[in-house]
């Protein structure tokens, strides 16, 4: 069985693996030389080793969960607007994120993020 390699399907698998905190499945949606950036261009991580190190810390958070608010797809670019529940040093809270994924050949090549300020407290679902 082959997985759907459409950009939207790849990003959806990435989101599902993120919410399952399945690091290997999450990494499998990224190219070996993928890069993550802040939306303004600052490099956050390059390649699987750096992506793994950056994300393993996040996946250790017991309340981690990303809720998709909206998704737009234009060719090989997928833009997600999410609310992510996180465990901050001050306690549980949420951040809004805009995530821009560039998908080519069935893998995420680049991901750029704009992260809003934390809102403390358990989210109302």
| pLDDT (tens place) for every residue of the chain, 125 residues total | 356 889 999 999 999 999 999 999 999 999 999 999 999 889 999 999 999 999 999 999 999 999 999 999 999 999 999 999 999 999 999 999 999 999 999 999 999 999 999 999 887 76
Pairing mode of beta strands 107-115, 77-88: unpaired
pLDDT of 1 reads 37
Task: For the domain covering 7-120, report its CATH number.
Answer: 3.10.450.50
Q: Is the dihedral of CA 118, 69, 51, 47 positive or negative?
A: negative
pTM equals 0.91
Query: Which run of H or of E encompasses 57?
Result: helix 47-59
């Amino acid at each position: 069985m082959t997985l759907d390699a459409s950009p939207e399907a790849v990003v959806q698998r990435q989101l599902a693996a993120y919410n399952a905190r399945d690091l290997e499945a999450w990494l499998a949606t990224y190219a070996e030389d993928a890069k993550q950036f802040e939306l303004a261009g600052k490099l956050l991580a390059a390649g699987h080793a750096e992506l793994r190190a950056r994300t393993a810390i996040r996946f250790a958070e017991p309340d981690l969960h990303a809720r998709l608010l909206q998704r737009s797809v234009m060719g090989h670019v997928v833009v997600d607007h999410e609310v992510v529940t996180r465990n901050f040093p001050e306690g549980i809270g949420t951040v809004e994120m805009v995530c821009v994924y560039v998908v080519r050949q069935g893998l995420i090549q680049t991901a750029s993020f704009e992260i809003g300020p934390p809102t403390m407290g358990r989210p109302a679902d």
